[in-house]
Amino acid sequence: MTTDRLVVIVTGGSRGLGLAIVESLLIAGYRVATCSRKTSSEIDRLNAEHGGAKRFMWRQCNLGDESEEENFINSVSAWAAADGLYALVNNAAITGEGVLATFPTVEIERILQVNLVSAIRLARLVLRVLLGQGRPGRIVNISSIVGSRGYTGLAAYGASKAGLDGLSRALAREVGRRGITVNSVAPGYLETELSATLNDQQRRQIVNRTPLGRLGTVGDIAPLVTFLLSEPASFITGQTLVVDGGISC
């Protein structure tokens, strides 16, 4: 399976893990489309390096707004043209920290809308295209060990990520006979902007509980996502692959 005609959608690709996934896929030869709420210097760089060759596309999209999500998928389909779509990586996420007893309802709804509801809607939109094409495809949902292990102050975030794991298992059964695989990748605590809110004591506690003795990096996760899109991963589906340095073992 050659990758140069395969179009992959990655949400939240302007920074952090999403950006690392985009770059890993471009190196592997895929055409990549991504979206985020706003652009970044890295998006400008990727546009300059790959946009002219129609290997990279970015669009502004407020995930959580159904009409914007539909417009984004439609624009990617038009950009993909005869190549069609191959895969969706649901990576975009927001977080919010606070004990549930005092956590605002509006924040709970915002986290669930972006992290889970939007991912479900995007999967539905992409599946309609994949099923219509009648050829194999891939969906990868970026969840988190917080969804299975829990963490104080992240109840809504953890619930949204646990939902993605359930989505992967259910969809794997629904579409497996059509040659479409669906999996989750569950990172542990990474050196990203999402972990920047950890204070020194919290960081030390996490590192001390991790058998490999460090936080993860985006470079620990992106290659696994790329592998799940490859031909050698075509018999892997319905799984949650944990990459956390052993903290949950």
Residue pair 95/194 in contact (Cβ under 8 Å)? The answer is: yes
**157 a catalytic residue:** yes
**Half-sphere CA count of 102, side-chain side, radius 13 A:** 4
Catalytic residue among 30, 86, 157, 189: 157
- Residues with Cβ within 8 Å of residue 62, at least 6 apart in sequence: 37, 68
Which residues have a catalytic role annotated? 157
